[in-house]
Amino acid sequence: MKVAIYCRLSEEDRNKQFETDDSNSIQNQKSMLLQYAMEQGWELYNIYSDDDYTGSDRRRPEFNRLLKDAEQRRFDIILCKTQSRFTRELELVEKYIHGLFPIWGIRFISIVDNADTANKGNKKSRQINGLVNEWYLEDMSENIRSVLTNRRVNGFHIGAFALYGYKKDPDQKGHLIIDEEAAVVVREVFTLFAQGYGKTAIARMLNDRGIPNPTEYKRLHGLRYQQPKTKNSTLWKYFAISDMLTNEIYIGNMVQGKYGSVSYKTKQNKPRPKEEWYRVEGTHEPIIDRELWERVQALVAQRAKPFDVGTIGLFAKKARCANCGYTMRSSKTSPQRGSKHYLQCSNRHVAKDACIGSFISVDRLERTVIDELNRLAAEYLDKDELEQNIEFCDNLQGQKARLLSDLTIYQKKIDEYSKGIRELYMDKVKGLISESDYVEMSKGFTTERDRLEHVLADGEKQLAKIEEKIAAGDNCRELIEQYTNLEHLTREIVETLIDYISIGKRIPGTRDVPIEIHWNF
């Protein structure tokens, strides 16, 4: 029998000499599991070890490599110290330990809490372990959130990175002190804007002088920073200047909580309403004095342009530069030249050779989109069999299939929890467990079952809506006809039909601009 050992540590080990070393706790787990495997006479296939990862993190590299090897049946047994080392999520316990592992012929064993899928009698205890671990995750998340909220309310900085212009106070946790070298640049940005310079012009001035942007500055000075996701990451951009000019931290106010987590099970964040931000005044020394700040805010408000759906905003956030991938910004010619609207790459003016500078008029792009849409519509409507070309319902059918699969899983879990409650009751009647144990264990099962029943009901409502859309989609010919023979586009049509448009630079010697339209269908 081949055994795969999985180890995990969630806390950072202070005793590491080198970052690449395994922590002492990982070493202890390996020793314990290797000794156990040797006593059973099993052959070691591999040791999978994730250090500094939580049990709810599904992106653990070794965890996912273990699952991939398990699916390919490269070993017979997975051995862990405890079930929670493998996962703390009840959903993954059901999916893998009770679902896929038996199908793949994999036996799961955790030696401390005595979980063993070869022992049919302890499935209930494994489920209870999974439920307890799930509660632990939720409680821990609530406790952490409560502590962080308290610190935010009291004006302590809790971010991983200090804002450009500041650094973390080594003598007082949660306090910011001025980084004078960067603060000089911040003051210059505010002063230049107050003198009438535009945001793009300021960015270009800083780039021409070789001043590194905030991310590059922190990297060069050995400070913590967030890894950039785009090209030209060392250059100042319009949006960096724009964000700086409206950030109250520069006048000594701590503003936090602009984003909040979607769930304790994911690291995904979403924007929070401004009224829910945590704002505390006078928490640290300001870089910008109040008079300059007020002057800049007045100019920012004065220069803000309203969103014009019919013209400027027609392709907002839909047009991208084919060279650097940045969203193209709208501009407008003077009234003497006809007040025409154009789209240009936002990287075009920030530095020399930063980008080729994609450029196109909104009118021309609109005509190109309409022509292509009419061509597709004519080709589509010429077909007798609608499914031979664009099938609008494909995505909905996929959503329906996935939802039906999820509903089946939810119903199965509901049945399992109901069965578990009945079995617990029989154990209580037989005197195998006490009344208090029965109440405690059945409470968790009942709560989870009720939650899943609500999820199931919501899913069934969603399924009904999808089926209505599919029924409406059967008349695809009428749907496509409403987008033919158009004279102008609307923002609604652009949002409905277009994912994004990639725009290149005009071909020399011609008027042709490379355009690639990515449709939503």
The CATH number of whichever domain residue 174 belongs to comes to 3.90.1750.20
| Residue 308, domain member (yes or no) | no
pLDDT of residue 246: 92
pLDDT of residue 308: 40
| Residue 94, domain member (yes or no) | yes
Domain end call among 258, 274, 303: 303
pLDDT of residue 508: 81
Domain end call among 122, 143, 163: 122
Q: State the DSSP H helix or E strand holding residue 417, giving kind and residue range, or none if neither.
A: helix 394-429
Report in angstroms the alpha-carbon separations of 502 from 54, 325, 385, 492, 499: 40, 8, 31, 19, 10
415 and 288 in a single domain? The answer is: no
Domain end call among 247, 279, 303: 303
**In terms of DSSP bridges, do strands 43-51 and 2-9 run parallel, antiparallel, or are they unpaired?**
parallel
E strands along 225-281, which residues?
A: 254-256, 259-261, 269-271, 278-280
379 and 492 in a single domain? The answer is: yes
User: Using CA of residue 423, residue 425, residue 430, residue 435, what is the dihedral sign?
Assistant: positive
288 and 180 in a single domain? The answer is: yes
- Per-residue pLDDT reduced to its tens digit, 403-439: 788 788 878 888 888 888 888 888 778 788 788 777 8
- Domain holding 353, by residue range, is 319-384+485-519
167 and 63 in a single domain? The answer is: no
| Residue 179, domain member (yes or no) | yes
181 and 291 in a single domain? The answer is: yes
- Supply the CATH number for residue 32's domain: 3.40.50.1390
* CA-closest candidate to residue 203, choices 177, 229, 241: 241
Q: State the DSSP H helix or E strand holding residue 3, giving kind and residue range, or none if neither.
A: strand 2-9
343 and 362 in a single domain? The answer is: yes
* CA-closest candidate to residue 49, choices 104, 86, 101, 93: 86
Q: Which tokens in the block code for residue 19? A: 């970052």
263 and 332 in a single domain? The answer is: no
| Residue 248, domain member (yes or no) | yes
| Residue 330, domain member (yes or no) | yes
Cβ-contact 281, 252 below 8 angstroms: yes
183 and 159 in a single domain? The answer is: yes
Cβ-contact 397, 469 below 8 angstroms: no
Rounded to the nearest 10 degrees, the angle between the axes of helix 394-429 and helix 123-153 is 110
What's the number of domains the chain is made of? 4
Is 0.85 topped by the overall pTM?
no
Please tell me the distance from the alpha carbon of residue 189 to that of residue 195, in angstroms, as a whole number: 10
| Residue 190, domain member (yes or no) | yes
| Residue 135, domain member (yes or no) | no
Please tell me the distance from the alpha carbon of residue 287 to that of residue 267, in angstroms, as a whole number: 32
| Per-10-residue mean pLDDT, the chain, length 521 | 89 47 71 90 93 81 94 94 84 85 91 82 63 62 68 82 90 91 93 85 88 89 66 76 92 85 60 84 92 90 52 72 78 66 74 70 88 76 48 62 81 85 81 79 79 79 75 54 72 79 84 84 64
Q: Which tokens in the block code for residue 117? A: 């899928």
Compute the radius of gyration of the chain from its Cα atoms: 30
328 and 293 in a single domain? The answer is: no
10 and 118 in a single domain? The answer is: yes
Looking at the chain, the number of H-run helices and the number of E-run strands are 16, 17
378 and 491 in a single domain? The answer is: yes
| Alpha carbon 13 to its chain's center | 28
| Residue 137, domain member (yes or no) | no
239 and 373 in a single domain? The answer is: no
pLDDT of residue 182: 92
* CA-closest candidate to residue 280, choices 382, 427, 92, 153: 153
Point out which residues pair with 246 in neighbouring strands. none
Q: Which tokens in the block code for residue 279? A: 């704002």
pLDDT of residue 201: 84
